[in-house]
Amino acid sequence: MSAHPIVQHDDAETTAFADAVRDGIRAADEGRKRPYSEVRNWLLSWGTEHEKPAPQRG
């Protein structure tokens, strides 16, 4: 039995979203993640004169 349920999707947008979530879970499981504070600081800079670059992928 798989740890992640098998779900079928009807439309391309939902399928793309599910694929992105699956990719994110896989990346986190492999240790490829950024600290919350780095991501938070990046997001808080959006729309400001001093927008920060996205945190580098681990």
- Number of compact structural domains in the chain: 1
**pLDDT score of 57:** 73
Residue 38 domain-assigned (yes or no): yes
The answer to whether residue 2 sits within a structural domain is: no
Report yes or no on 18 lying in a domain. no
Instruction: Say if 32 falls within a structural domain.
Output: yes
Q: What is the pLDDT of residues 21-55, one digit of tens each?
A: 999 999 999 998 899 999 999 999 999 999 999 99
Domain carrying residue 57? 24-58
58 versus 22: which is more confidently predicted?
A: 22
Answer yes or no: pTM beyond 0.75: no
Confidence at residue 10, expressed as pLDDT on a 0 to 100 scale:
75
**Amino acid found at 28:** A
Of 25, 22, 28, the C-alpha closest to 58 is 28
Determine contact, residues 31/58, Cβ cutoff 8 Å.
yes
